[in-house]
Chain A
C-alpha cells in the first residue's frame, strides 16, 4: 500500500512537472506571439527591440535540428563501435578501465567541452573544411568558399564528442545484457564473432540502442554553451556545413537572454517552447519505434 502510494505520487509528480513547465512556457510566450509582426514559425531573423518586433524560429529551429542530427551522424557509429569493443572484444580489465574513463568523460561540463573544442578543433576543422571543399565542393553542403572555422561542422563535431560518452556507456550496458544462451545459439550455428553480434547482440539491444541514441539526441538538442561558443551565429537556413553560420534555439537564448528586455525574454521563451516541443516529439517518436517492435523486443 505504502509502496503503491509512493509510486503513484512519484509518477504523477513527473506529469505535473512537465505540465507546469509547459504552462509556464506558454504563459510567458503569449505576449511575444501576440506582438510579433512576422510569422513566428517561418521568419528567420530575430529582432525583438523597437516598436515593430520581427522575429521567428525558423533559422534557430533548423540549426538546432541540423547540428544535432549531424552530431548524431558522427557520434553514433563511433559510440556503438566503442561499446561493442568494450562489451565483446576487449580484455575484461581493459574494458573496465576504459568504461570508467568514458563515464568520467560524460561528467565533463559542456562549457569545458565548448572551450576546448573551439581552441583545439578550430585549426583541424579549418583544414578539413578546405579539403572537403576542394575534393567534394560540388556538393552544396561543402560548397562554402570560407572563411572556415566557426561553422556547423565545428559545432557538430564538438557536440558529437559531448554525446559520445553517454551513447557509448548506455549501449555498452545494453550489449552486455544479451543473454549468454542467445550468443551461444548463434555461435553454435557456425557464426563468426561478428556474425554472432549481428544475429544476437545488436537485434537484442535494438530498443536499448534507440533509447541511448535518443538520450544523446536530447542532450544535443538542448546543448547551449558549447554551441554558443563554436557556432557562427548566422540567422539563415542553408545546408552549408563549412562556412560561418549556424545558430540553435538554445545558443540563441544563451547569447541574448542576459541583455534582453521583458519582451525580448518573452520571445526567447517562446523559442524555448518550440525546443520543448521538438524534444517531446523526438522522444515520442523513439517510444513509438520501441513500442512497435515490443513483441520482438529483448530489452525494453
Chain B
C-alpha cells in the first residue's frame, strides 16, 4: 500500500513569485525521506505539492509532473480529494479540530469517506491510536476534547487522524517544531515504526532529526532571498551527513550557514 513518488521538474509559484524551480526526485515506498534546508528554501512548498495542498493558497500554481505509482496527480481528470485521501498530512502546529472529541478527530477522515457504522469507526480509531502510540494515554477519555491534550499528544492525535484513512503516503511538515524534546522523541520513534507501512516524507529544520529518522535526505537551498528554491543534493542520509558531494550541502550541515 505504500507508493513510490516521482517528481519531474516540479516548479511552484505563488502568483508571479517562483518558490521552487524544477525539483526532480524519486522517493521509494516504505522509506523515510527528510527534506532539509534553510528557511524559505521551498522544502515545505515542495512537500505541499505532493498532496496538492499548495494550490489551496490564493494564486498558487504548479508546473511539472508528480507521479504517485506512475499516475500524474496533476492530470486534468484526477480528483484532488482522491489524491489527498491517498496522501495524509501532518502539519507544523498540531491542529486537531477544536470542536471535536478525541474520537471524532481520529475518525474525521473516515466520516468524510462515508463510513458511518459505529463498530467500524471504533475499531479503526483504536487501531490508528495504537499505531500513533497514543491509545494507552487516551483510551479512557475518547469523548473529551482533542484540544485538551498536551502538544505532543495533539500531534500524535493528528498523526492518528492522518493514518486512520490508511493513506499510501504520509507527509509531515516540521511535525516536531512546536514540541518539547520528549514529545519529539515519541514522534521520531513513531516515524520509524510507521515506515514499515507508509512512505514518509518529512520536512525538518532539525538536522539531527533528519539524521536519526530518515533513509534518504534531500537538501534544498536558495541563492539569495527572492530566488526560487532548488534541490541541491539528494542522497542516502548517511552519505549526506558524512560525505556530501556538493560543497553547499557540506556548508549547511556543518553549520556554516542557514
Q: Mark B94-113, 1 if CB is under 8 A from A, else 0.
A: 01111111000000110011
Q: Does B231 contact A (CB under 8 A)?
A: no
**In the complex, chain A residues whose CB is within 8 Å of the CB of B82:** 190
Max chain B Cβ within 10 angstroms of own Cβ: one of A200, A206, A295, A296? A296
Q: Does A189 contact B (CB under 8 A)?
A: yes
Q: Which residues of chain A from 206 to 222 have any CB-CB distance to chain B below 8 Å in the complex?
A: 206
Q: Is the CB of B81 within 8 A of A181?
A: no
Give me 16 A-to-B residue pairs in the complex whose CB atoms sit less than 8 angstroms apart, sorted by A's number: A92-B58, A184-B53, A185-B161, A186-B108, A188-B53, A188-B84, A188-B89, A190-B82, A190-B83, A199-B97, A199-B112, A206-B99, A293-B99, A296-B101, A297-B99, A298-B99
**In the complex, chain B residues whose CB is within 8 Å of the CB of A181:** 91, 93, 95
Q: Does A176 contact B (CB under 8 A)?
A: no
**In the complex, chain B residues whose CB is within 8 Å of the CB of A203:** 97, 99-100
Residues of A in contact (CB 8 Å), total: 24
Q: Does A142 contact B (CB under 8 A)?
A: no
**In the complex, chain B residues whose CB is within 8 Å of the CB of A189:** 84-85, 88, 108-109, 112, 161-162, 165
**In the complex, chain A residues whose CB is within 8 Å of the CB of B96:** 185
Max chain B Cβ within 10 angstroms of own Cβ: one of A179, A188, A295, A297? A188
Give the docked Cα–Cα distance between A208 and B51 (Å): 32
Q: Does B151 contact A (CB under 8 A)?
A: no
Q: Is the CB of B89 within 8 A of A204?
A: no
Q: Which residues of chain A from 165 to 219 have any CB-CB distance to chain B below 8 Å in the complex?
A: 179, 181-182, 184-192, 195, 199-200, 203-204, 206
B97 is contacted by which of A185, A192, A195 (Cβ under 8 Å)? Answer: A185
Give the docked Cα–Cα distance between A195 and B108 (Å): 11
**In the complex, chain A residues whose CB is within 8 Å of the CB of B145:** 295-296
Q: Is the CB of B99 within 8 A of A188?
A: no
Q: Mark B55-79, 1 if CB is under 8 A from A, else 0.
A: 0101000000000000000000000
Q: Does B5 contact A (CB under 8 A)?
A: no
Q: Is the CB of A187 within 8 A of B53?
A: yes
Say how far A279's CB is from chain B's closest CB, in angstroms. 28
A190 is contacted by which of B56, B85, B91 (Cβ under 8 Å)? Answer: B85
Which chain B residue shows the least CB distance to A91?
B58
Q: Is the CB of B91 within 8 A of A185?
A: yes
Give the docked Cα–Cα distance between A206 and B97 (Å): 13
**In the complex, chain B residues whose CB is within 8 Å of the CB of A298:** 98-99
Max chain A Cβ within 10 angstroms of own Cβ: one of B83, B95, B144? B95
- Total contacts A-B at CB 8 Å: 79
Q: Is the CB of A184 within 8 A of B91?
A: yes
Residues of B in contact (CB 8 Å), total: 33
Give the docked Cα–Cα distance between A201 and B68 (Å): 31
Q: Is the CB of A187 within 8 A of B84?
A: yes
Say how far A186's CB is from chain B's closest CB, in angstroms. 7
A188 is contacted by which of B51, B58, B93, B147 (Cβ under 8 Å)? Answer: B51
Q: Does B158 contact A (CB under 8 A)?
A: yes
Give the docked Cα–Cα distance between A187 and B91 (Å): 12
A296 is contacted by which of B51, B84, B91, B100 (Cβ under 8 Å)? Answer: B100
Give the docked Cα–Cα distance between A51 and B126 (Å): 76
Q: Mark A265-300, 1 if CB is under 8 A from B, else 0.
A: 000000000000000000000000000010111100
A-B contact sample (8 more), CB < 8 A, given A188-B51, A189-B84, A195-B112 = A187-B56, A188-B53, A188-B91, A189-B109, A190-B113, A199-B112, A203-B99, A296-B100
Q: Does B148 contact A (CB under 8 A)?
A: yes
**Do A184 and B56 form a contact, CB below 8 Å, given A189-B112, A295-B145?**
yes
B165 is contacted by which of A190, A199, A295 (Cβ under 8 Å)? Answer: A190
Which chain B residue shows the least CB distance to A179?
B95
Which chain B residue shows the least CB distance to A192?
B81
**Do A190 and B95 form a contact, CB below 8 Å, given A184-B53, A184-B56?**
no
